[in-house]
Structure 1
Amino acid sequence: MTKNTSIFANLKSDFASGLVVFLVALPLCLGIALASGAPLFAGIISGVVGGIVVGYLSNSHLSVSGPAAGLTAIVLVAITDLGSFNSFLLAVLIAGIIQLALGFIKAGSISNYFPTNVIEGMLAGIGVIIFLKQIPHAFGYDNDFEGDESFLQQDGLNTFSELFSVFNHIQLGSVVITLVSLSILIAWTKVDFLKKMKLVPAALIAVIVGILLNEFFIQSGSSLAITSEHLVSLPVPKTFEELKNIFVTPDFTAITNSKVWIVAFTIAVVASIETLLCIEAADRMDAQKRYTDTNVELKAQGIGNILSALLGGLPMTSVVVRTSANNNAGAKSKMSAIIHGILLLVSVLAIPSLLNKIPLATLAAVLLLVGYKLANPNIIKHFWEKGKYQFIPFMATFIGVVFTDLLKGVTLGIIISIIFVLKGNMKRAYNFRKEEYQEGDIIHIDLAQEVSFLNKAAIKATLNKIPSNSKVVINATDTDYIAHDVLDLIKEFKKIKSKELNISTKLVGFKDAYDIENSDGYKNKVTIEHRYNVMKRKLEVIENKEIIFKEDKL
């Protein structure tokens, strides 16, 4: 539960973060459209709809939607198989309707069962991918499309072989602009008076300086001048007729084509899963620990894809790269995503020629820092300390995402997590009493003997429904095992949510240090002594009953 506040409440910070996301999203929209074999403006349309429409309808505070790299292979094959882009748009429209239906049947609740270590492994893996994929762009080698997140590339190379190819294609002007841009971005976080200039994002200054530097190189005839193939490449419509031709409509006559329906279901499933993964990741990033209604998110994505298809845009999902950039730029609410969509729309229509002067090297510098923050080495140490049952799924997801792609990596992590849970929880039962409470009530929540991450959804829903000004007692006296996902949820509720809603929260039976003992969760040492005392009392009762029974018999 969160307080209802206006989306304009944090306009200063949201405008600054929206501007950063716009700068990051622009080349990604174009790159993904190019790789998908679709018109370049189809990516921009998807980005605009994802920002404005989905941003407004969603109740996620950090998530940013747009064309997704994970769908490029599907889109490329689909356009070829269906024979026309118009027929493909019909498949996207049907996919949007399917997503809308999934939202109404509450299919979004599946996201509650994504383990935290898998989500964190996905984020770390995406961070490494972002970092490695931007190194070639930082050196002026732009062979691979912007936004590629797969290990195996369309040009036959892979993430690592692409790095070795850089040495044969270094463009010194791009290197200079990358270094200058990185200096600006880092200085903005280190120098005190620059840190106070929150309304002016460092990324914007880096872009302006990058444009001016390259213009200087061009005017002076320097060999450092960056040519058009290393700049943002947005089509510039010269007449109103050209502008009107940007918008393409679906071919409704293809409704009877079975291939259209197969593509539609494929897009709906893949886009929904990627969105739910990103939403869980966004909620993990959120410093205020606000929860997103994933069923509302699926409805928003469905409406977004329907509208995108009607306008001639690509299918969209919630996207980790843009969401991470949004969070790092200091976004406070969904207004940031909306602003990024508005900026995409206005700038593409009003100043496309100016946008085409932006060096890709500058944008690479922005994404290098985003990638580094996501893949911070401390996160590996953090999960190592949590024990093997947390560390192994985390590392499997991390490695899987880096060496395959997002969905395959996450699938691997979840499979390993399920194996561990099935192995350790075959006899674990979870009993949770769910009641209606009124404001001011004293609420008792007694945890069962074993609480795994499979119980996270029920506990999250219960905590989320607790009214303000209540008193809550969460009792773990009889609990031997609590999964880290649930333990983190309870700790976050006590530290953040309870203060926000004036809820008095008392934890009983929890050990202060939340020790981890050879398990993927918390073993409650307090209960060992407690269980001994309970068993002792039960034996005494049984013994007394036996004595009474013998006396009666005599």
Structure 2
Amino acid sequence: MHAAAADRSTSAVLGRDFLASIVVFLVALPLCMGVAIASGAPPALGLITGIVGGIIVGSLAGSPLQVSGPAAGMAVLVFQLVQEHGLIMLGVVGLIAGALQLLAGVLKLGQWFRAISPSVIHGMLAGIGVLILVSQLHVMLDDAPRASGLLNIAAIPEAVIKAIPTDGSVHHLAAMAGVITILTIVLWNHFKPKQLSLIPGPLLGVIVGTIFAMVFALPITLVELPDTLAGALNIPTGEALAGFTNPDILTLGLVFAFVASAETLLCATAVDKMHIGARTDYDKELRAQGIGNMICGGLGALPMTGVIVRSAANVEAGATTRFSAIMHGVWLLLAVAAFPFVLNEIPTSVLAAILVYTGYKLVNIAQIRKIAEFGRQELAIYFVTLLGVVLIDLLTGVILGFALATAKLVYTFSHLEITREHDEETNRVDLWMKGSATFFSIPQLGKALESSPVGSEVHIHVEKLDYIDHACLEMLSSWEKLHQTTGGTLVVEWSELVERYGRRSEDPSKTEIPGLMVRPAA
């Protein structure tokens, strides 16, 4: 009886995962091709990455419900690589990035990739979202994206003019298909019936946009997939593999590894919050991503990361094991192998429209409000990262954000505010301390103490102090001894300081902190 119950339970789990895999496949199919187009690569290379991310990485992943594949967050990097070094170098950089991720996982560095300020990560993603939006806006008009984010932004007025119907131009027709796609996604996300809630908006947008183009026989650019996957491979040549010795290529491999790892592990953390099942093994996930990216590199496909859109769809569809992620890769493989002629009917402007919408979603207004709750400094880190990514490049933007976050950390742990009051009648001095009292603060603290009159009773109020280090405690101890020789006293009025650092003295009216005698406040 127990065996029969177990079989029924296993069947139910596999049944839910089977249905979830179809939902994830329907979400992933248009995005795999769209991200490839945004990356300046053939759509087939995005589909290959989706297949590897499902079947291979899904089998090895440390986060069983996370779904991996080509990510919009990497599209800007890939586009720059393709423009500067050619499509053939994509595989070489993928091999380097994958090897670095695998090594990081073996060395158990997974947790360290999470030690990045959320403001930097969200600023990076928002900057990527802006770059994707402004570049794919031109593709949505059957036009070519410009060479940089600034040029794409500068060309937006030109794109608006091209969207106006004129004789001999098809830009406005492509724009119509793209706008209809975006409207379909937005309306579906807002008004979809509960019974059909599992149907993803991007898929419906592709279907409606494609049907619109077919019904009106629009003369716009369509997706081109080869008859077989073998014909789509972009395997690095021997000459390309010599790029392993090129410092620029090695640097790109390092950047790819860092960005892909950070995005993957942040995605895994978000997925953990969505369900109550097994938690992520970050080092195992990093090793799986490394193996997946090395395979994609060997095939010359796009790099992969864990993708939040597909992963969230997987959880919402009721998946409970890695079977759903694996099967979604199988469905992608079958679709490309058996129905390439169907995919070839999709206009590129329709896929670009999905990326325009995705770019907009990456600039998450709700996230900006949440960051603002933590203060202006965090908001500044966010916008410096965003502007750095958009105006300069992704790596520089992240470095600027990280440097500002580090500066904020140093400031927080070195900043001390001291307010002083002196009652001349009682010869009492009160010093209120706020912030962190560290060795950086010793000159400031010493100046405040030394301003106390001879023989005065000095009270230090530290209830608003976040931290006090040993150097400051030693300094207080030394100054107390010196002040006592003038007939003065030092009283630290903070019971919490005693709880943190103190031990009871033989004198019941006093408490000892190593190097310092504290009289509890009356």
Tell me what 1:282 maps to. Answer: 267
Matched residue, 1:232 = 223
User: 1:84-103, CA deviations, whole angstroms, 9 ceiling, x for partnerless residues?
Assistant: x4x98567546544432222
Per-residue displacement from partner, 1:9-38 (whole Å, max 9, x unpaired)?
A: 44434422331122111132255363xxxx
- Cα distance per residue 1:27-65 (max 9 Å; x no partner): 32255363xxxx775454334223321233222333523
The change in CA–CA distance for 1:46 and 1:391 in structure 2 (over 3 A counts) is same
**Structure 1: 5+ residue stretches without partners:** 145-152, 219-224, 238-242, 429-448, 451-477, 483-527, 547-554
1:383 pairs with 2:371: yes
The equivalent of 2:394 in structure 1 is 406
1:181 equivalent in structure 2: 181
Is 1:208 aligned to residue 245 of structure 2? Answer: no
Alignment map for 1:131-146 (pairs within 5 Å): 131-138=133-140, 140-144=141-145
- CA 1:189–1:401: 2 relative to 1, 3 Å: same
Match of 1:162 in 2: 155
Q: After superposition, what is the alpha-carbon deviation per residue over 1:172-223, rounded to whole angstroms, capped at 9, x for unaligned? A: 333333343333323323336x2331343333332222222211111xxxxx
Equivalent positions of 1:2-401 (< 5 A) are 9-32=16-39, 34=41, 41-60=44-63, 61-66=65-70, 68-69=74-75, 70-74=77-81, 77=84, 85=88, 89=91, 92-93=94-95, 96-138=98-140, 140-144=141-145, 153-154=146-147, 158-170=151-163, 171-191=171-191, 194-218=193-217, 225-227=218-220, 229=221, 231-236=222-227, 244=230, 246-247=232-233, 257=242, 259-260=244-245, 265-283=250-268, 285-286=270-271, 287-288=273-274, 292-310=280-298, 312-314=299-301, 316-318=303-305, 322-324=307-309, 326-327=311-312, 330=316, 337-401=325-389
Residue 166 (structure 1) shift: 0.7
Is the contact made by 2:235 and 2:300 (CA closer than 8 Å) also made in structure 1? no
Q: Residues 26 and 344 of structure 1 are in contact (CA less than 8 Å); yes or no, is this contact kept in structure 2? A: no
Query: Do the aligned residues in 1 keep the contact of 2:384 with 2:401 (CA within 8 Å)?
Result: yes
1:531 aligns with 2:522: no
Cα distance in structure 1, aligned partners of 2:391 and 2:402 = 16
Percent identity, please. 26
Contact 1:30 1:234 in 2 (8 A): no
Which residue of the partner structure matches residue 479 of structure 2?
none
Alignment check: 8 A CA contact 1:100 1:302 kept: yes
Partner SS, residue 223 of structure 2: coil
**Equivalents in 2 of 1:76, 1:50: separation in Å?**
25
**Does the 8 Å CA contact 2:53/2:69 hold for their aligned counterparts?**
yes
Aligned residue for 1:453? Answer: none
CA–CA distance in 1 between the matches of 2:30 and 2:225?
13
Displacement of 1:296 in angstroms is 1.8
| Letter paired with 2:304 | T
CA distance 1:293–1:408, shift in 2 (3 Å): farther
Report the secondary structure of 1:233's partner residue: coil
CA contact (8 A) 2:27 2:200 kept: yes
> Where do 1:475-514 residues align within 5 Å?
481=466
Bigger CA drift: 246-255 or 22-31?
A: 246-255
- Secondary structure at the residue paired with 1:316? coil
Once residues 15 and 288 of structure 2 are traced to their aligned partners in structure 1, the CA distance between those partners, rounded to angstroms, is 20
Superposition deviation, residue 324 in structure 1:
3.7
Distance in 2 (alpha carbons) for counterparts of 1:120 and 1:156: 18
* Unaligned runs of at least 5 residues, structure 2: 1-9, 164-170, 417-434, 437-462, 468-492, 512-522
8 Å CA contact 2:124, 2:389 repeated in 1: yes
Residue 479 of structure 1, CA deviation: 9.9
Contact persistence 2:27–2:203 (CA under 8 A): yes
* Residues 34 and 43 in structure 2, CA contact (< 8 A), matched pair in contact too: no
Bigger CA radius of gyration? 2
- Measure the CA separation in 1 of the matches of 2:282 and 2:311: 19
Specify the SS of the correspondent of 1:353: helix
Q: 1:102-126: per-residue Cα shift (whole Å, max 9, x none)?
A: 2211233321311122222223333
Greater CA drift, 351-360 or 178-187: 178-187
Partner deviation per Cα, 1:425-453 (whole Å, 9 max, x = no partner): 2599xxxxxxxxxxxxxxxxxxxx98xxx
1:339, distance to aligned residue in structure 2 (A): 4.6
Give me the CA root mean square deviation: 4.2
SS in 2 for 1:158: helix
1:270 and 1:535 map into 2 onto residues whose CA distance is 43
- 540 and 275 in structure 1: CA distance in 2 versus 1, 3 angstrom threshold: same
Instruction: Decide which moves more: 416-425 or 335-344.
Output: 335-344
Pairwise CA distance, 1:335: 5.5
Q: Aligned partner of 2:274: which letter?
A: Q
8 A Cα contact 2:181 2:209, kept in partner: yes
